Structure 1
Amino acid sequence: MTGLQLCHRFYDRAVAPLLTGVAHAAGLLGDGSEVLGFDDAVSPDHDFGPRAQVFVAAAADAEHVHRALERLPSRFEDFPVAFARGTLHGGAAHHQVEVVTAPRFFTDLMGRDPADGMTVTDWLTTPTQRLATLTGGAVFHDPEGALATRRTALEWYPDDVWRYVLAAAWLRVSQEEAFVGRTGSVGDDLGSALVTARVARDLVRLAFLVERRWAPYSKWLGSAFARLPLAGRVGPHLTAAVRATAWREREAALCAAQRELAVATNRLGLADAVDPEPRRFHTRDLRVLFGDRFTAALADRVTDPGVRALVVRLGNGRPTLPGAIDQAVDSVEILTRPDRCRAAAGLLCPDAGDGSGDGAGDGAGGYSPGSST
């Protein structure tokens, strides 16, 4: 039995009967390994048990629902209904049925109600790990479509925002791909291994972008990656790269993984095709893909006015795109705090337009790929 199955039965058998005649939606979204479907036999040792969210039409309806939930049983299918979950309720044991309106729930978790539309800034300041938990999980009851409307709005980036974050992903790879061999060639094997791990992680996240899937946070990144169709072709090369004991082996394995992802990127048709073959790094005895060639190709196809303005403003004649919040920042204390994520808007998308990123626009502007040293 998975956590989602437990919670669905809990809603059907214990919560819903108490809410007869009350207009509401219900589901399990947001935080928790069970929301992503990765809970296992270890998970129940803390913060685990039957829970749900009940979405009322108006805040004024919440008090009636709270009173009804006082009649919940003390246990459900051998699990206590009242249990401590993090710092909620001051850390005291309490039933874990959250009562909230849909606009408040989504705004609290991402700083925006997606039912009002998503701007370029909204997309770039919302971590993929948050989008994964809001479009994952399960909906138990949604007669008016309050949840479906918002989850549909968050299914995936508009095409030009997608081009932009994919361009930024390839740029991140290009900035360090040559360092695997450069560090190794001077005898810094630890440094080579560290860079390899960083590039491999960026390639895993790039695979999620190619597959149109939201990447979860680090604990489940590898597990979720293994479920991607691309994993069978890319995964063995990444495994070989991080396990290699010599920098030449790391370099070869990363080049093979990059080639697979380059072919997959071309297949998307989001930009003019780029030669996916690795090549010599200038005159040095190193091999790289030069991932920033994909950055330039993708950015040159952006036409949405808001996204195009970012490309031109941040490009300055070469790829300098910071991308989305979780491409620019790797801090739990920021990525789990919507207010802090949105505070980074000035860095990620200064003076960005308010467009959603999926309209047609002026295609003027562009830049050329640079090179790393």
Structure 2
Amino acid sequence: MSGRELSRRFYHPSIVGPLLARTPHAAALLGDGSEVLGFDDVVSTDHDFGPRAQIFLPTEVDPDPVEKALTALPAVFEGMPVAYVDIDRHGGEPPHQVEVTTAPAFFTARLGFDPVDALTLANWLLSPTQRLATLVDGVVFHDPLEILTARQSKLRWYPDDVWRYVLAAQWLRVGQQEAFVGRTGGVGDDLGSAIVAARVVRDLVLLAFLIERRWAPYSKWLGTAFSLLPLAKTVGPPLRDALHAENWRDREAAVCAAASLLAAATNRLGLATEIDPAPRQFHDRDVRVLDAERFTETLTSAITDPEVLALLARLGRRSDGTVGSLSGSIDQAVDSTDVLMHLPAVEPSLRHWASERPALPSASASCGPFPTISSSVEHRRKNIPDRRDMQACQCALVNEVPRHPHRRSSAPGSRRASKAPLSASDTRSCPAARLMT
């Protein structure tokens, strides 16, 4: 029996539900756990698995009578113990796994804000998709007051211009690496070519989630969830070919084929002016690419929301003027599990780390004043407009200008050729200069 079905039966109709019949509440299976997304199997039962649910009370309801009522839970349900060890709760002690909470507390603990309120641009960009997936795609057993469904509805998907921005940033990630599949292969570095191809394949898989308007889970279930997307039927085969190719030419062709299919799917969204999805030669080199940055440009050009436009203006364009410098959402800027899964807890430490770094001149001039550090996660999220790419920050800290990894500049005295030191104007346009300052 799946964890979802086990928990549904545990709540309704015979066990938890009747104990709370006189108390207004909602019940669900949300948050952490493979069973929340329906991906659990027999291996999942070896830890933190059993009948469980969350009970969400209106904020004005006293939880003590509910906790008392739950002491009447049976010791065993469907042959499984009702009280069992959950390493993430109760200090490892084996209580029952019916969590009594409120919707504002539950969602704020996982996102840093309550989605029943108006969502800001920072709320969207700082919400990891794996967190959103476990909140939106989890199962609701009982919600007569729409305590949960109202919040799930608010978190269902990005507003259109935020969607354009995140899509543009994802295409930019592809554009920054796609030429290296052939470039590394051309010098005989087949391992390097395979590594780059695997990175691009992952970015294309994540791009498919964005096109399909589905929140991507974390890496353990990324491939499984991708296989359920409608796009997987056509895009999946060339992605697998790219990973299994034995030479860089076949690898490059497979990456281009998958990217072209996703480019056509992006066109079908109607979010921006259509772009030719056919692969092409990379400059005058013997390398084939989609030239994914074209989609970054057309998507950002279609944005009209003032707040997103202001973000684009703050981020600026690359020194050669070819494309915007997009850090994207937190999933696109950061690859740390601890940050993505525990952002409200680790954010103060990240800010402290940033405050210990050497000062970067003129950073505040282009970004405006930042608030002082507050103990309130909600306060920080409402006042800090965005986060910056950690990798770009490292570039700034070693006095280098972040630049396109394969764009060749023909401008006389270009920084790529001169290796000139970081100037104040470069600092103002550098996303890293404003990372958690």
Fold-level similarity (TM above 0.5): yes
The Cα of 1:59 is off from its aligned counterpart by 6.6
Match of 2:326 among 316, 321, 327: 321
Aligned to 1:283, the other structure's residue is in SS state coil
Displacement of 1:64: 1.3
1:153 aligns to 2:158 (yes or no): no
Matched with 1:247 is 248
Superimposed CA distance per residue, residues 264-323 of structure 1 (whole angstroms, 9 cap, x where no aligned partner): 000101010111111111110000011010000000110001111111221324321010
Summarize the alignment of residues 125-164 of structure 1 with structure 2, pairs less than 5 Å apart.
125-164=126-165
- The residue identity in structure 2 corresponding to 1:3 is G
CA contact (8 A) 2:176 2:404 kept: no
Deviation at 1:225, TM superposition (A): 0.3
Equivalent position of 2:6 in the other structure? 6
Cross-structure match for 2:91: 90
Deviation at 1:25, TM superposition (A): 0.7
Distance in 2 separating the partners of 1:131 and 1:188: 39
Assess if the C-alpha contact under 8 Å between 1:57 and 1:101 holds in 2: yes
The count of aligned residue pairs is: 359
CA–CA distance in 2 between the matches of 1:60 and 1:326? 37
Query: How far 1:208 sits from its partner (Å)?
Result: 0.3
Letter in 2 for 1:16: G
Gaps of 5+ in 2: 355-362, 371-380, 386-402, 408-437
Question: Helix, strand or coil for the counterpart of 1:320?
Answer: coil
Letter of the 1:309 partner, please give it: A
Task: State the alpha-carbon separation in 2 of the partners of residues 87 and 27 from structure 1.
Answer: 18
Kindly indicate whether structure 1 or structure 2 has the higher relative contact order, using CA contacts under 8 Å at least 6 residues apart.
Answer: 1
Partner of 1:66: 67
- Secondary structure at the aligned position of 1:146 is classed as coil
State the one-letter code of the partner of 2:341.
T
SS of match in other structure, 1:61: coil
Contact kept in structure 1, 2:109 and 2:344, CA below 8 Å = no
Q: For 1:168-199, what per-residue CA distance to the aligned partner results, in whole angstroms no more than 9, with x for missing partners?
A: 00000000000111111111111111100000
Partner of 1:51: 52
Structure 1 runs not aligned, ≥5 long: 358-368
User: Counterpart in 2 of 1:366?
Assistant: none
* Secondary structure of residue in 1 paired with 2:62: helix
1:339 aligns with 2:344: yes
- Cα distance in 1 for partners of 2:316, 2:281 equals 25
Tell me by how many angstroms 1:57 deviates.
1.0
C-alpha distance in 2 between matches for 1:297 and 1:342: 33
Question: TM (normalized to structure 1)?
Answer: 0.92
**Contact between 1:120 and 1:354, CA under 8 Å: does it hold in 2?**
no
Please give the alpha-carbon distance, in whole angstroms, between the structure 2 residues aligned to 1:90 and 1:59: 28
Helix, strand or coil at the partner of 2:116: helix
Counterpart amino acid of residue 235 in structure 1:
G
- 1:280 matched to which residue of 2? 281
Task: Using the TM superposition, give the Cα deviation of residue 340 of structure 1 relative to its aligned residue in structure 2, in angstroms.
Answer: 5.4
The Cα of 1:43 is off from its aligned counterpart by 1.3
Distance 1:280 1:308, change over 3 A: same
Looking at structure 1, the residues matched to 181 and 197 of structure 2 have their Cα atoms a distance apart, in angstroms, of 6
SS in 1 for 2:184: helix
SS at match of 2:42: coil
CA–CA separation in structure 1 for the residues paired with 2:289 and 2:192: 17
- Alignment check: 8 A CA contact 1:25 1:147 kept: yes
| RMSD, aligned CA | 2.2
Partners in 1 of 2:89 and 2:404 — Cα distance?
A: 49
1:333 is displaced (CA, Å) by: 0.7
Q: CA deviation at 1:42?
A: 1.7
Q: 1:195 to 1:223 in 2, by over 3 A?
A: same
Q: 8 Å contact 2:125–2:328 — kept in the other structure?
A: yes
For residues 6 and 90 of structure 1, the distance between their equivalents in structure 2, rounded to whole angstroms, comes to 24
Q: What are the Cα deviations for residues 185-244 of structure 1, in whole angstroms up to 9, with x where unaligned?
A: 111111111100000000000000000000000000000000000001100000000001
Q: Give the Cα–Cα distance (whole angstroms) in 2 for the partners of residues 173 and 341 of structure 1.
A: 28
Which piece of structure 1 moves more, 61-70 or 160-169? 61-70
SS at match of 1:114: coil
Q: Distance in 1 between matches of 2:96 and 2:64?
A: 15
Q: What's the secondary structure of 1:42's corresponding residue? A: helix
Per mean C-alpha deviation after superposition, the further-off stretch among 160-169 and 52-61 is: 52-61
The CA distance in 2 between the partners of 1:87 and 1:57, in whole Å, is 25
Does the CA contact (< 8 Å) of 1:160 and 1:304 recur in 2? Answer: yes
User: In the TM superposition, what is the alpha-carbon distance from 1:27 to its structure 2 partner?
Assistant: 0.5
Aligned equivalents of 2:314 and 2:274: distance in 1? 25
Cα shift at 1:372: 2.5
Letter in 1 for 2:174: V
**SS of structure 1 residue aligned to 2:97:** strand
Select between 58-67 and 124-133 the one with higher mean Cα deviation: 58-67
Q: Distance in 1 between matches of 2:194 and 2:218?
A: 22
Question: Structure 1 residues 196-205 or 183-192, which shifts more?
Answer: 183-192
Higher-Rg structure is: 2
Compared with structure 1, are the counterparts of its residues 210 and 136 closer, same or farther at alpha carbon in structure 2 (3 Å cutoff)?
same
Q: Shift in Å at residue 338 of structure 1?
A: 2.9
Q: Describe the SS at the equivalent of 1:116.
A: coil
Is it true that 1:372 corresponds to 2:406 in the alignment?
yes
Superposed displacement of residue 94, structure 1:
1.1
Shift of 1:58: 2.2
- Amino acid of the structure 1 residue aligned with 2:406: S
